[in-house]
Chain A
Amino acid sequence: MVIETVVMGIWLTITILDLVAELVLKFTQILGWFRNRRRHLTGYALSEAERDEVGFTLQNLRANGQYRTVQGVLNTRTNQVAADARAITSNAIDDQLASHHRGSRLVIYN
């Protein structure tokens, strides 16, 4: 029983590590989130409120070598970040996202 539990624990650990190790954050995922958000909110039409909005990604490289990317929307009129900002942890990022963040931790999309 103890051995089975240990084996199961090791298997789960390996599985989780595999999932994290395979995770590459792609720019299309970032773009997709912005697009889905707009579709959900306004059905593609550019509302007045949306004209004041800019998207952003903020990226940190952690000490363990993983990337932590925070994605969200800033309203430039109210100076507020929308509450649905999300954080994504990944082992790698694709070239397109990397090129956006080259030399800049915080990138604005407008």
Chain B
Amino acid sequence: MDLAAIFSIEVVGAIATLVLMSIGLAVVFGMMKIINLAHGEFMMLGGYVAILATNRFGVPIWLSMLVLAPLVTGLFGVLVERLLVRHLYGRMIDTMLATWGLSLALVGIATMVFGNTTVGISSPLPGFAIGRFQGSGYTLFVIAVAVAVLAGLWLLFRFTDLGLCARASMQNAAMAAALGANPGRIYTLTFGFGAALSGLGGAVLAPVSGVIPTIGASYIAKAFITVIGGGSAVITGNLAASGLFGAVSQAVTFATTPVFGEVALLVAAVLLIRLLPQGITGRFFKKSI
């Protein structure tokens, strides 16, 4: 019974981790229909900012994880959008490739700057006990952050002017522009916001996964697959896809090994896209955000 409880928390934790890994990419894909393959490196950047702020500059860990990391990464995202992505609007494949180049370059820079040994940060939360089993308190925190992010996004899209303009641009960019929204500004803000979410994800996951220059590679494949599997609705799609893949992956991991958990996730993705080529929200929950 206790093991089942711990297991359930682990599954929800896995789903929350997937959500945090992919929400940044989902926002950008949902809005601009482009795939930013440097997303993994934005997460890495967020992780490094959190670690450096906490260890070198003594900033309290919550501040550096939840405020500083997204802020810095968001600004960097705005910069990338202005310099790189802006010139490739409408060209999905080309944006993917250009951002892929950016990701290789960022890994190279991180290796050169941070090198091979960077002190990490350890989980700031104590564990908890269910019966005789210990669970990680940090997993609960990750779940809480994922819920907060999704809720915040929903509120943003639903109840603010900016969210309204964003949704309008997602539906029909030309029409939204004709009605007075400034698409260029919206795209820049969206990309920056997506980057900030990626940075937040990387920072929040840093105490459990650590941060090394090549960590982006372990995030990008799963994030990419989750976003495409989710379809074009940002929140619902992401939640649905993360739920499905996270649950499948963690359940198989429990039953066998983490490798087969990974394989199960990938197989689930292949089957999903085969059956629902436009992603989950291409077929179900079509009108949702």
Asked if A and B are interacting partners, one says no
